Structure 1
Amino acid sequence: MNFWEKVTGSDLTKDWQAFGARVAVLPEDYGEAWDQIVAHLFPYGDFTGRNLTPLLDSALGLLEVSAADGQSIDEVLGDDIPGFCTALAGGAGARTHRDRWRDQLNRNVARKLSRLGG
């Protein structure tokens, strides 16, 4: 990825288009599961979402292999897609973007207050 692609986000656009093309050839129930996976992984993304690309690529690879093997989506993911996404993102307690922003805000406020008090 070159500087221009990173600044404009065109690399992400290419990735999402590639994901869309791959999902389009999957069975319909796999496509619905993919939409749920994306929705449940988004809170774990950074501001741009670039850190999710490898996770989404792996999850889509699992779906592709499972569909090729003829497995149903329930056999692959069960009925706990949010739990699957949590495990994929790093397990329970994995930090979301809200956690990181909250920590940053707390550090900034503490720094400002320490300047006032001293």
Structure 2
Amino acid sequence: MLSTLKQLITDVDGAWAAAISGLDGLLVESHSATDVDLSLLVAEHAGLMRATSQAYSQTLSGGQTRELYIRAERLSIYLHPVGQEYFLMLAIDGRSNLGQARLYGRDAAHRLEAEL
């Protein structure tokens, strides 16, 4: 798992952290190019992922959430489900290429699912 997360950060321009987490908000594995504690970042985004999944599948009848992207001024987060209980989080700077994050993130999520 760790090698997949490290490779993801290397492959995506502007990526500085990648993690796999349970939807319960508990960090399973992570790698960061900074000294940021990813536990809080993962816990906050687990709540967003759960709320989005519930809203789209139950309230809006839109089906399962396939990915979630949140962009702020200095931080962007790409989330991709990994199986039914986990998700991949990729943290990138605010100027990074979303298409590249999605392409490499989706591939990493599929590899991580096989490892879980």
User: Structures share a fold, TM > 0.5?
Assistant: no
Please say which structure displays the higher CA radius of gyration: 1
Normalised to the residue count of structure 1, the TM-score between the two structures is 0.30
Normalised to the residue count of structure 2, the TM-score between the two structures is 0.30
The structure that is helix-richer by fraction is 1
The structure that is strand-richer by fraction is 2
